[in-house]
Each structure stands twice: as C-alpha cells, then as structure tokens.
C-alpha cells in the first residue's frame, strides 16, 4: 500500500509517494506545487482543498501523512504552515483515508531504523529515489515513510 506524505514551506507544497515497507521503502514520485502565501485566507483555503484533492486523485495512495512545522511565528505564517493541514484532514475524512501527522522530531533513528542524519537516511535507505532531491521533499518522504507498514 502506498503512502503520500506532505510538507509545506512558504509558497511551496511538497508531496512524495512511497511504497514498500518501513524497512524497505521504495520511492514512487514527488512534486512541488507553488502557492501565494499572501493571498486572502479564503483563497488560500480553496487552493489547498483543490490541490490536495487533485494530488490524492492522481496518486491514489492508501494513506496520508504530513510534517507539521512548529516554526510559525506569526498569524500569517500559521495561515500557510498549519491551516492547510486542517483542510487535508477534512479531505482525508471525506475520502475515508487514514492520516497521520508528524513533526521533524518524529523522524527518529528508532522510528525508522536508520543510522546518522534523517536526510542522509532518505538517500541511503529509500530505493529508486532521485539522484538529487532536497530537504523539503525529503521531509514529505519522511512523513510517508513513517506510515508504511513495519
């Protein structure tokens, strides 16, 4: 069963699909969608509802996960770093998909069975991954990885 993980940073929504197991994760795909973090809240909410729905329809995962950032220092940052995941939870509920949330500290050596840095673990342990991929997409991959069966 595949897992779809999400990560958000200012102006960017990253997602990554993994299959396999927690011990042997396999890369399927990843992508980035850009958004205007300064748009009105209603437009931002609509954007995320539409985009999450499209990504889920296109990738057909068995479960969802996301990395929740704890870095918001203002209401404007909360609007694009946190609120979208409330919308994702509603979309998951409407589609009867299980969903899990994580923070960066969740991606531990104990949880995923790797040695060293979590970003290096993505390169070393995820099969068929791209040659070059950055930390934002690896955070989405880590969220997906956490939800794979052990």
Q: Which domains does the chain have, with CATH numbers?
A: 3-147 (3.30.420.10)
pLDDT recorded at residue 104: 93
Cα distance between residue 80 and residue 93, in whole Å: 21
Q: In what order do the strands lie in the sheet with 3-9?
A: 25-34, 12-20, 3-9, 63-67, 99-102
Task: Select the more confidently predicted residue: 18 or 71.
Answer: 18
Helix (H, G, I), strand (E, B) or coil at 43: helix
What per-residue string of b and e applies to 101-130 under the rule 16 or more CB within 10 Å gives b?
bbebebbeeeebebeeebbebbeebbeebe
pLDDT recorded at residue 116: 83
Question: Does the reported pTM lie above 0.85?
Answer: yes
Across the chain, what does the average pLDDT equal? 96
Helix (H, G, I), strand (E, B) or coil at 31: strand
Model confidence at 11: pLDDT above 90: yes
pLDDT recorded at residue 114: 85
Tens digits of residue pLDDT in 79-129 = 999 999 999 999 999 999 999 999 999 999 888 888 789 999 999 999 999
Are 101 and 140 a contacting pair, CB within 8 Å? no
Tens digits of residue pLDDT in 63-76 = 999 999 998 999 99
């Amino acid at each position: 069963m595949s897992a779809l993980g999400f990560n958000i940073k200012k102006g960017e929504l990253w997602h990554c699909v993994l299959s396999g197991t927690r011990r042997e994760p396999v890369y399927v795909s990843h992508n980035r969608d850009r958004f205007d973090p300064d748009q009105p809240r209603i437009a931002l909410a609509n954007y995320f509802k539409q985009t999450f729905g499209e990504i889920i329809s296109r990738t057909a995962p068995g479960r969802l996960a996301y990395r929740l950032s704890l870095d918001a220092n203002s209401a404007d940052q909360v609007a694009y770093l946190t609120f979208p995941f409330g919308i994702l939870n509603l979309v998951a509920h409407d589609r009867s998909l299980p969903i899990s949330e994580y923070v960066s500290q969740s991606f531990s050596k104990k949880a995923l069975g790797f040695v060293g840095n979590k970003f290096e673990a993505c390169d070393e342990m995820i099969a068929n991954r791209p040659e070059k991929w950055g930390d934002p997409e690896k955070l989405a991959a880590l969220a997906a990885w956490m939800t794979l069966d052990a």
